[in-house]
Structure formats: C-alpha cells, structure tokens
Amino acid sequence: MAGIDLGLSGKRVLITGASRGIGAAAARAFAEAGCRLALHYRTEPFEAAAVPDATLLRGDFAVMADVRRVVAEAVAALDGLDVLVNNAGHMVGRIPLAAMSDEEVDRVFDLNARSVVAACRAALPALQASRGCIVNVTSISARSGGSTGSALYSAAKAFVSTFTRSLATELAPDGIRVNAVSPGTIATRFHEIYSTPEKLEATRRKIPLQRLGTAEDCAGAFLYLASPRLSGYVTGQIIEVNGGQLMP
C-alpha cells in the first residue's frame, strides 16, 4: 500500500473469523494500511496472533451472547469502531437434505447468518457515532447454490447477501455504508476440509483465470470497501472475487 493513501490510517476495525484464511489476510492488509485492529477467533488465534498490536478476542459465533460480547470488547478496546468485517462462518459439514437435523440447521444458520445480524446490531451505536461501514462476507454459492451437501451454507450466505442490501438502504441516513465481499473457490483450509483434490481441480479448469483464488486475492476488496476515499459512494454492493468463475 506504500504511496497510496486509502484514508484508513487510524481507523478502528473489528474482523471476525480472523485466525486463518481470508480473515487473516484481510487483517494483515488492514494492519499494513495503518488501522487499529480487534481480531476475533474461535479456538486458537493462529495467524491473527502475528498481526502487530492487534487485540485478540475469543468467542463462538454460533452463540449470540459470544457475538455481542466480542463486539462490545472490541469497541471498548478500540474506543469506538469505524469498520466491522463480518467474516466468521463455516459450512459445518456437507449435509444432504435427507440427513439434515433441526440442530444442524440451527447451527449453520446461527454461525453464518444470525451471527451477522447480532454483530451488526451490537456494533450499530459505535458505527452510528463514527459514520463507519460494514463489510460482510458472503460466497459465490449464494448465487450458484453451491455443490451437493452445501444447501444450508449456501442459503445462509444468500441471506447475508440480501441482508447486506437491505441494511445499506436502512443505514444510509446514518452515513453507514454496507457492502459485501463474495469469494469464489479460494484455496484455504475450508476447501481442504470440504472439497477433494479432484473436485478442486475440476473447478480450477472451469475458471477463466485457470487457477483457484488465494486469501490474499480477497484482501484488496476489503480495503476498497472500507476506504472512504475509494468507495465513499459505494453501498449495497456485492463484490465478486472469483477469477471469472461466476459473472453475474
């Protein structure tokens, strides 16, 4: 970012799900841009622990009390909040319709959808005070429907996309911009768990850029959407980062 002033220096940023992958890459990018960071993780901080001067906050985002506590602790540690990045989420498992239990439905939607609502609600007073912004993380599967066994995750991410657009209209009078980043197939631990090498190779061959994405490929979209200088007139948008895998 040397030589480019994004207007982010000193901005107070909370990134949820920042221990690995996309969240950790976003944390490094925001740190390089001069932001003050609070980084959430679920069990271990992993890569987040290497981000200089960041406040590390532990919590299970399938538990709404944890979501509210983490946001409150971040606001207290940073003395306010300018940017909320809702990245925490997980597929939980590939669950076909015939095998879905009520408990699995609840956990997938709690972790991927309800936690976003809870975090936005908890952060709202601080964001109103700063006229800040929200950057949610959805998924290519919110539009494509995903692959077999990902119906719950895909539907939860579709909720996040629609919630993003609705909040953008609702919060515009407060000067709060709300957007989302929608990653395609990104080579992170997520796909190490849920996709076979054969499936990933088949996907790669269909991508116009002929490669899977990296977590770092997504980082610029977060900086762009958080930057008042670059995207001050951008709200209600879903930025697709997928190498041409989906061109809506």
Which are the catalytic amino acids? 153
Task: Yes or no: say if 174 and 128 are a contact pair by the CB < 8 Å rule.
Answer: yes
Measured CA to CA, the distance from residue 94 to residue 202 in angstroms comes to 18
Rounded Cα gap, residues 41 and 181, in angstroms: 19
DSSP assignment string, 78-96: HTS-SEEEE----------
Q: Which residues are bridge partners to 180 per DSSP?
A: 136, 238
Angle at 215 between CA 69 and CA 201, to 5 degrees: 130
186 within 8 A of 212, measured Cβ to Cβ: yes
Tokens of 148: 């077999």
DSSP secondary structure, 188-200, as one string:
SHHHHHHS-HHHH
